[in-house]
Amino acid sequence: MTIGSKAVSKLIVPIISNVVCLARSQFSTILFCSKMAVDNPDFKSATSIHEFTVKNIKGADVKLDIYKGHVCIIVNVASQCGLTANNYKQLNELYEQYAETKGLRILAFPCNQFAGQEPGNSEDIVCFAADRKVKFDLFEKIDVNGDNASQLWKFLKHKQGGTLGSSIKWNFTKFIVDKDGVPVERHGPNVDPKDLVKSLEKYWCLQIVSRKMAEANNPDYKSATSIHEFTVKNIKGEDVKLDVYKGHICIIVNVASQCGLTANNYKQLNELYEQYAESKGLRILAFPCNQFAGQEPGNSEEIVCFASERKVKFDLFEKIDVNGDGTNPLWKFLKHKQGGTLGNFIKWNFTKFIIDKNGIPVERHGPNVDPKDLVKSLEKYW
């Protein structure tokens, strides 16, 4: 049977059309990926991991400036490697021991470039990590070598070259990053996570020095008598002497943007401020905190955007710790003056302190107390 030229044309044209469409699609994808790469600095000119944006295991963008002030371990992981069980176990142990007390953060990047030992998709990797009760931060699967290497990993290798070249040699290569986001050490796959502690301690000591310098600008929380003696940083990073609140009744609260209590508390704090700021001189001081289930993960810019969308008018301050070694001096003072149930530590987001006109903490209310229910207490001090 012979096929006429028209019939051939009808067969070939759709095929060619599909090939062209596929080529266009691939080309568009390449262009899109190239544009996305612009979001990160050139790895050779960057000075800190805090300048980079990466995607977490859910595919959401994460600006690494959220790790400012934290010593970090960055590691390429795999689920089917001979080193997997030991490394995951010890990374878990490090995180559990030092995340709260020392502010350690671990950033794990799955990679399938070494003998195909991380073959799964994001969902598979999440399940694998969940089975091992992983609490540290997991990111999207990446390349660490080659033309498609993550810009962050190009930066890490540029700053901390390896033996016989800067390329990553195998799964579980570990970079230690100091509190300023500078890669300061590189350790090969043969180094157990537990053996990094001595190195980490060097940089934690630097953190302690930095914290002591900050505390030097504030009084000892045990001898202080008023919040007016303290200086804190606002959401823009500027120093604020709290004596600007002299003569005002204040509510001081630790806030979070992704908590089940967020919507109700922000709404009612807004209503309180609108109703009483002008007529009674009420002031509200909100301190973002990420210590409770990681429910305030954003940087200052993201927190400002979140607050702006909710038309917040009360005062926002820099993200802080309210518990642990890194607790902000003001919050040490608040807890010292108004202890809580079963210990002075803050139990959850939206713990509220009422401060009288002389700057003295006079009441403490738990997260379960709605802001509107503070009015009767506030009336005593007005």
pLDDT digits (tens, 9 = 90+) for 311-332: 999 999 999 999 988 899 999 9
Q: Which residues contact 153 (CB under 8 A, 6 or more apart)?
A: 76, 109, 142, 143, 144, 168
240, β-bridge pairs: 232
CA dihedral sign of residues 73, 177, 160, 39? positive
154 and 51 Cβ atoms separated by less than 8 Å: no
Spot the catalytic one: 33, 72, 81, 289: 81
pLDDT bracket for residue 85 (50, 70, 90): very high
For the question of residue 289 being annotated catalytic, the response is no
| Mean pLDDT confidence for 342-349 | 94
State yes or no: pLDDT of 166 exceeds 90. yes
Model pTM score: 0.53
> How many CA atoms lie within 13 Å of 362's alpha carbon, on the beta-carbon side?
17
Q: Which residues contact 175 (CB under 8 A, 6 or more apart)?
A: 73, 74, 75, 156, 160, 183, 185, 186, 187
pLDDT bracket for residue 4 (50, 70, 90): low
Q: Per CATH, is 49-208 categorized as 3.40.50.720?
A: no
The pLDDT assigned to 35 comes to 39
Between 299 and 360, the higher pLDDT residue: 360
| Mean pLDDT confidence for 40-52 | 93
Residue-wise pLDDT tens digits, 217-270: 789 999 999 999 999 999 988 889 999 999 999 999 999 999 999 999 999 999
- DSSP string for 305-352: HHHHHTT--SEEB---BSSSTTB-HHHHHHHHHS--TTSSS--STT-E
Q: Considering only 11-25, 169-183, 270-284, which range has the smallest mean pLDDT?
A: 11-25
The pLDDT assigned to 162 comes to 83
Average pLDDT, the chain: 88
State yes or no: pLDDT of 18 exceeds 70. no
The pLDDT assigned to 14 comes to 44
CB-based burial label for 242 (10 Å; 0-12, 13-18, 19+): buried
| Mean pLDDT confidence for 129-142 | 96
Short-list 86, 138, 155, 147, CA closest to 113: 147
State yes or no: pLDDT of 165 exceeds 70. yes
Q: Considering only 58-62, 114-118, 276-280, 362-366, which range has the smallest mean pLDDT?
A: 58-62
State yes or no: pLDDT of 55 exceeds 70. yes
CA–CA dist 275, 363 (Å, integer): 21
Which two three-digit tokens encode residue 295? Answer: 């429910």
Short-list 305, 165, 315, 295, CA closest to 232: 315
**Range(s) of the chain covered by CATH 3.40.30.10:** 49-208, 219-381
88 and 134 Cβ atoms separated by less than 8 Å: yes
| Mean pLDDT confidence for 158-170 | 91
State yes or no: pLDDT of 102 exceeds 50. yes
CATH topology of domain 219-381: Glutaredoxin (3.40.30)
Identify the H or E element spanning 5: helix 5-37
Please give the distance of CA 375 from its chain centroid, rounded to a whole number.
Answer: 34
Q: Cα–Cα distances in Å, from 33 out to 18, 40, 52?
A: 22, 12, 16
The pLDDT assigned to 213 comes to 56
Query: For residue 1, what is the DSSP state?
Result: -
State yes or no: pLDDT of 193 exceeds 90. yes
> What does DSSP say about strands 231-233 and 283-288: parallel, antiparallel, or unpaired?
unpaired
Short-list 133, 131, 116, 136, CA closest to 57: 136
CB-based burial label for 32 (10 Å; 0-12, 13-18, 19+): exposed
| Mean pLDDT confidence for 9-17 | 45
State yes or no: pLDDT of 203 exceeds 70. yes
Q: Which residues of 359-368 are buried (b: 16+ CB within 10 A; e: fewer)?
A: bebebbbebe
Q: Which residues of 61-70 are buried (b: 16+ CB within 10 A; e: fewer)?
A: ebbbbbbebb
- Quick one: residue 69, left, alpha or beta (phi over 0 = left, psi -120 to 50 = alpha)? left
State yes or no: pLDDT of 50 exceeds 90. yes
